[in-house]
Structure 1
Amino acid sequence: MPESKPRKRPARTVETAAKEQYKPNPVWFKPVMFGLMIVGLLWIITFYITSGQYPVAAWESWNIVAGFGIAIAGFLMTTRWRS
């Protein structure tokens, strides 16, 4: 059975490959990243200072999970941060 000819790819230089891979983050990325980390920390601190009455009294100890979840979302954004 005859084999088909492979298609020729355009030559890629190191410069074009680097340009394709590097795309800086949008302007809003860094403030949102740091904002999430700070809001998560403040959420947990508020929960402890108010003895569980704030931010959401009905959630009881789940406020800790919410605070850590918000902060972890910010920390996960750091893995995608390009300056």
Structure 2
Amino acid sequence: MPESKQRNKGGYEAPRAKTAAPKPNGRFFAPVMVGFLIIGLAYIVAYYLTQGDYPIPGLTNWNLLIGIGIALVGFGMLTRWR
């Protein structure tokens, strides 16, 4: 019976981890992030203090959603801050 060809079995090498650290954010990132958080909070506070009449009178309860959306942009940036 013929013999099969021998395979070249190399040793197992584990995958290498990435050595490059993520780059830090720019100098503008933190002030913009804090700005979104403060503007969102101010928008919601203005909505409640004026009993739904302002910041935009015709939107009624949508004003609350807009304020929460602005604050969520700030929270989203907060998760990416380095």
- Interval containing the TM-score (normalised by the shorter chain): 0.7 to 0.9
TM-superposed deviation, 1:22 = 2.4
Find runs of 4+ consecutive structure 1 residues off by over 3 angstroms. Answer: none
User: Unpaired segments of 5 or more residues in structure 1?
Assistant: 1-11
TM-superposed deviation, 1:61 = 0.3
Does structure 1 residue 49 correspond to structure 2 residue 49? yes
Does structure 1 residue 71 correspond to structure 2 residue 79? no
Q: CA RMSD in A?
A: 1.7
User: Unpaired segments of 5 or more residues in structure 2?
Assistant: 1-15
Q: How many percent of aligned residue pairs carry the same amino acid?
A: 46
Counterpart mapping for 1:31-46 below 5 A: 31-46=31-46
**One-letter amino acid of the counterpart of residue 31, structure 2:** P
Distance 2:22 2:76 in 1: 19
State TM-score, norm by structure 2.
Answer: 0.74
Structure having the higher Rg: 2
Aligned residues: 67
Distance 1:74 1:33 in 2: 5
- Which structure has more helix as a fraction of its residues? 1
Q: Which residue of 1 aligns with 2:24?
A: 24
State TM-score, norm by structure 1.
Answer: 0.74
